[in-house]
Amino acid sequence: MGHIVTSPHVTIRNVADVANVSTATVSRVLSGLPGASEETRQRVLKTARELGYQGDPNATALRLRKSNTIGIIVPDIVNPFFTALIHELETCAQQSGKDLFIANSQNDVIIERQRVQTLANRRVDALLISPVHRTMSSSTIQWAHSRIPVIQIDRHAGHIAPYVGADQNYAMNKALEHVTGTGCSRVAYIGYPESTSSSKERIDAFNTYISRHTSISSHIETGLPPHAAQQIADWIEFGECKDAIIASSDLHAIAVKLELQRRGINIPSDVVLMSFDNTSLADAANITSFQQPIDLIARKSIELVEDSDSTGEVIFLAGRIVIRGSSQRES
């Protein structure tokens, strides 16, 4: 064996020179391929360890067509719902021996396409994505899905790739049953615009429920939390309705709560309030919230990554309501 010289950038050539074998032999041994004797294999592995050879994960991915990495793109990494979802996905991925590359599309379809292209070029084994837009993101997802497996999570841009997310129709029905069960008959919904699939599905479910329960009057306000909260508070303070509000996110619910408190409107005696997502914000603000099954979403998503036959699978998962003080009126 030759003289061992450590280097901060040890290459296959360095290992081959010290072990007195060819670079092809080193490559076969380190890739776990046959073709070298046991004595040679042990010598190469020992030399690689002593030199501190780390290898090139991209080169390994090229040889084996597998990198043991999964890309994940979310529209807003600061949103506590997506923070919690990433945490669950990372836990499930680690249990499957996978690492995550995490990217933030910043609610921008152009940035989203750039992030998708970057992760595809990194040769991730699969891509998990929560699309920015229910129609404008579809071409990007189709492009990615033609190259690598793609799983849509929480939101989708049409059923052009497998999807895992909450059953929004079930969730909205449960939310409306809860607030009307407290005696409310004038219900408002506040949320994001219909540009995402989850928002559209919730609004559609809200309208369908109201159409079947004619004794309930309704109002819908869409927009970002601070502006939409002001609009809904105006509607309550100056309009004829003052009863219940269902918010599409904990961020919306907190904005509503702060605005109503500023105007002297009491929760829950004047207005019952509940939201979706049940992040730590809802717990801290004592707001009733619908718990999306992010643990199941994460587990099913990683399972679909491992399942090569999951080309068009659509999985809707049920959640549950966590009741807190914002919807508990004294009888």
DSSP code at position 326:
G
CATH number of 69-166+294-317: 3.40.50.2300
Q: What's the pLDDT at 56?
A: 62
Q: What's the pLDDT at 61?
A: 52
ω into residue 268 within 30 of 0, thus cis?
yes
Looking from the CA of 323 toward its CB, the CA atoms found within 13 Å total 12
| Rounded distance between C-alpha atoms, residue 303 and residue 84, angstroms | 19
Q: Which of 174, 190, 193, 209 is nearest to 271 (CA)?
A: 190
- CA separation, residue 86 to residues 26, 161, 266, 298, 318 (Å): 38, 20, 35, 8, 19
CATH 3.40.50.2300 intervals, the chain = 69-166+294-317, 168-291+321-327
CATH number of 168-291+321-327: 3.40.50.2300
Total residue length of the chain: 331
Q: Which of 291, 261, 272 is nearest to 329 (CA)?
A: 272
Q: What's the pLDDT at 6?
A: 43
Tens of pLDDT, residues 114-152: 999 999 988 899 999 999 999 999 999 999 998 899 999
Per-residue HEC secondary structure of 134-164 comes to: CCCCHHHHHHHHCCCCEEEECCCCCCCCCEE
Q: What rounded mean pLDDT belongs to the chain?
A: 88
First to last CA, the chain: 86
CATH 1.10.260.40 intervals, the chain = 12-55
Predicted confidence (pLDDT) at residue 3 exceeds the cutoff of 50: no
Q: State the DSSP H helix or E strand holding residue 222, giving kind and residue range, or none if neither.
A: strand 217-222
Let me know: does 244 contact 187? Beta carbons within 8 Å.
yes
Tens of pLDDT, residues 162-202: 999 999 999 999 999 999 999 999 999 999 999 999 999 99
As its CATH architecture, domain 12-55 has Orthogonal Bundle (1.10)
Model confidence at 90, pLDDT cuts 50, 70, 90, reads very high
Model confidence at 55, pLDDT cuts 50, 70, 90, reads low
Tens of pLDDT, residues 295-311: 999 999 999 988 756 66
pTM, to two decimals: 0.79
Residue 264: phi, psi to the nearest 5? 80, 20
